[in-house]
């Protein structure tokens, strides 16, 4: 066991009795975390699910949960590309009603009405175990059947060098709709370890957009579980720009006939950033569709990881699953690791995946330059074009413009 893992367990010990919610669940999670430790935190055991990402830097960081904030949360919040819509703001893991704008959908704080949900696997996922053990706050949202809740922003701001373990549960009633825009940012060296679960009932539609723009020295771990029922849609897009190390893990289970999941993502990395997008799409009901395009743009000494598995159960006939992973290496020191996986137990299915890895197309580069466009600009045009394909998956123009603006800021940062 590493020092980091021990510190988390000791903190849990000291908080027993003061943490909200089911203490037996927390104890079980603590036992699981004690056994598993932080993935890659020690050399002894290799976990296939964490083949390309080691949390050793997390294990080696001393987080200070009780230290006073070193940064101004309000300033960080003002700098975010916010939409004119309800927002739930969490600062250093705690809900801040004063900064929030209440949604019309039913809202409850985890700190007041703890809800661990039913989809997560603390026994299988060490970071979910850690979250379950230490979660103190989070959002529970309930969209009633048939209701369109519009856009709700879920904002995480980190202002101190601590670790936060928010726990969100979002339930969409039959035929309801919600667009959830999740933005996370901060300053300092902190760990954000979120667990969120989405229950999407028959015919409901959840659009989930994420912008991860954490501080350059931060750690961002996010585990999402989605249960998509008959005729329902989980349409997600994740843009990862920040953090020294991030892991975005999504488990989407298509449990009702005709359910649809879109798990799209783009990661732009530079310096020594490491970003891991890992997804598992489980087709357990017949006639479901999943689509996934994940793009990595890797500069500097960065490392981009994609692991994606499509699982098709025996009964999930007429499954239509597609997955594409593309990586653009912009530097001789960047690295990409890609593991697209198919696990198929039904015969009447249409499943495919593709992966490409390489640099910018030399002919396209030449074409642009032959038209008088300088090298650097030509590169940036082509990289933007590469990303545009991924961003096109975001149907809402207002939201897509915000994401494009965030990408532009990322480019500016690289120039600086």
Short-list 220, 268, 223, 227, CA closest to 390:
268
Chosen residue from 6, 23, 112, 345 binding other proteins by CB under 8 A:
345
Of 344 and 381, nearer to other proteins (C-beta) is 344
Q: How many residues lie near other proteins (CB under 8 A)?
A: 35
C-alpha triplet 202, 112, 31: angle, nearest 5°: 85
Residue 202 DSSP class? T
**Region of 82-90, 125-133, 284-292, 322-330 interacting with other proteins (CB under 8 A):** 322-330
Binding flags for other proteins, 26-65, as an x/- string (CB under 8 A): ----------------------x-----------------
Residue 347 found at the interface with other proteins (CB under 8 A): yes
Q: Could you say whether residue 380 binds other proteins (CB under 8 A)?
A: no
Span near other proteins by CB under 8 A; candidates 140-148, 156-164, 357-365, 398-406: 357-365
What Cα–Cα distance (Å) separates residue 217 from each residue in 98, 186, 197, 389?
28, 10, 27, 29
Closest to other proteins by CB, 160 or 338: 338
Contacts with other proteins, 298-317, as mask; x by CB under 8 A: ----------------x--x
Q: Residue holding tokens 């101004």?
A: 72
Nearer to other proteins, 154 or 330 (CB): 330
Q: Is 17 a binder of other proteins (CB under 8 A)? A: no
Per CB under 8 A, the segment of 136-144, 214-222, 335-343, 380-388 that binds other proteins is: 335-343
Question: Residue 98 and residue 113: Cα distance in Å, rounded?
Answer: 19
Which residues, listed in sequence order, are joined to residue 198 by a DSSP beta bridge?
A: 170, 226
Phi, psi of 336 (to 5 degrees): -130, 140
Return the residue of 58, 157, 252, 327 that touches other proteins, per CB under 8 A: 327
* CA–CA separation, 320 and 352 (whole Å): 9
| By the rule CB under 8 A, 356 interacts with other proteins | yes
Please choose, out of 141-149, 190-198, 213-221, 329-337, the segment that lies near other proteins by the rule CB under 8 A.
329-337
Nearest distance from C-beta of residue 325 to other proteins, angstroms: 8
Q: Which of 336, 378, 382, 403 is in the footprint of other proteins by CB under 8 A?
A: 336
Binding flag, residue 355, other proteins (CB under 8 A) = yes
Cα–Cα distance measured from residue 298 to residue 270, given in angstroms and rounded to the nearest whole number: 6
Among 338, 391, 406, 407, binds other proteins (CB under 8 A): 338
Query: Is residue 341 a contact residue for other proteins (CB under 8 A)?
Result: yes
375 binds other proteins (CB under 8 A): no
Cα atoms in the 13 Å half-sphere on the side-chain side of 379: 11
Residue 166 is a binding residue for other proteins (CB under 8 A) = no
227/246 Cα distance (integer angstroms): 24
- CA torsion angle 246 190 208 297 (round to 10): -30
Question: H-type helices in 63-215, by residue range?
Answer: 73-78, 126-134
Picking from 236, 171, 224, 173, the residue whose alpha carbon sits closest to that of residue 203 is: 173
Q: Looking at beta carbons only, is 22 or 335 nearer to other proteins?
A: 335
> What is the x/- site pattern for other proteins, positions 215-244, by CB under 8 A?
------------------------------
Q: Does 351 bind other proteins (CB under 8 A)?
A: yes
- Closest C-alpha to 292, from 255, 254, 318, 256: 254
Q: Does 85 bind other proteins (CB under 8 A)?
A: no
Interface with other proteins includes 329 (CB under 8 A)? Answer: yes
Specify the 3-state DSSP secondary structure of 332: coil
Sole binder of other proteins in the list 352, 364, 367, 392 (CB under 8 A): 352
Q: How far is CA 394 from CA 208, 235, 272, 336, 399, in A?
A: 10, 9, 28, 25, 7
Q: Which of 15, 28, 342, 388 binds other proteins (CB under 8 A)?
A: 342
129, 29 Cβ separation under 8 angstroms: yes
**Which of 337, 389, 396, 404: binder of other proteins (CB under 8 A)?**
337
Q: Please return the burial class of 376, using the count of CB atoms within 10 Å of its CB with bins 0-12, 13-18 and 19+.
A: exposed
Interacting residue ranges for other proteins, rule: CB under 8 A: 48, 314, 317, 327, 329-359
């Amino acid at each position: 066991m590493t020092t980091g893992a021990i510190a988390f367990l000791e903190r849990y010990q000291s908080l027993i009795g003061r943490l909200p919610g089911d203490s037996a669940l927390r104890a079980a999670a603590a036992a699981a975390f004690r056994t598993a430790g932080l993935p890659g935190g020690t050399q002894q055991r290799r976990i296939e699910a964490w083949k390309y990402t080691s949390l050793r830097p997390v294990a080696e960081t001393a987080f200070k949960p009780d230290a006073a904030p070193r940064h101004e949360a309000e300033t960080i919040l003002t700098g975010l590309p916010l939409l004119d819509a309800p927002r739930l703001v969490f600062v250093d893991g705690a809900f801040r009603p004063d900064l929030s704008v209440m949604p019309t959908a039913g809202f409850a704080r985890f700190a007041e009405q703890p809800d661990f949900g039913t989809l997560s696997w603390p026994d299988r996922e060490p970071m979910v175990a850690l979250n379950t053990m230490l979660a103190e706050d989070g959002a529970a949202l309930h969209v009633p059947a048939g209701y369109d809740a519009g856009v709700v922003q879920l904002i995480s701001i980190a202002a101190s060098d601590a670790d936060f373990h928010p726990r969100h549960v979002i339930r969409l009633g039959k035929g309801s709709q919600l667009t959830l825009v999740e933005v996370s940012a901060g300053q300092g060296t902190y760990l954000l370890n979120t667990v969120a679960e989405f229950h999407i009932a028959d015919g409901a539609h959840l659009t989930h957009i994420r912008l991860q723009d954490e501080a350059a020295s931060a750690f961002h771990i996010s585990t999402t579980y989605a249960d998509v029922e008959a005729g329902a849609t989980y349409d997600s897009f994740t843009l990862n720009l920040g953090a020294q190390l991030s892991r975005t893990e999504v488990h989407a289970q298509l449990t009702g006939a005709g359910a649809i999941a879109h798990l799209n993502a783009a990661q732009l990395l530079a310096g020594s950033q490491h970003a891991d997008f890992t997804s598992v799409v489980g087709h357990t009901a017949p006639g479901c569709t999943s689509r996934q395009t994940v793009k990595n743009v890797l500069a500097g000494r960065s490392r981009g990881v994609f692991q994606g598995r499509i699982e098709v159960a025996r009964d999930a006939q007429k499954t239509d699953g597609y997955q594409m992973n593309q990586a653009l290496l912009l530097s001789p020191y960047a690295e990409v690791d890609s593991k697209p996986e198919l696990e198929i137990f039904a015969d009447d299915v249409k499943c495919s995946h593709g992966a490409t890895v390489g640099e910018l197309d030399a002919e396209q580069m030449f074409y642009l330059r032959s038209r008088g466009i300088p090298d650097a600009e030509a590169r940036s045009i082509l990289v933007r074009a590469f990303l545009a394909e991924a961003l096109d998956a975001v149907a809402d123009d207002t939201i897509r413009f915000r994401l494009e603006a965030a990408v532009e800021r990322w480019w500016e940062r690289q120039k600086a």
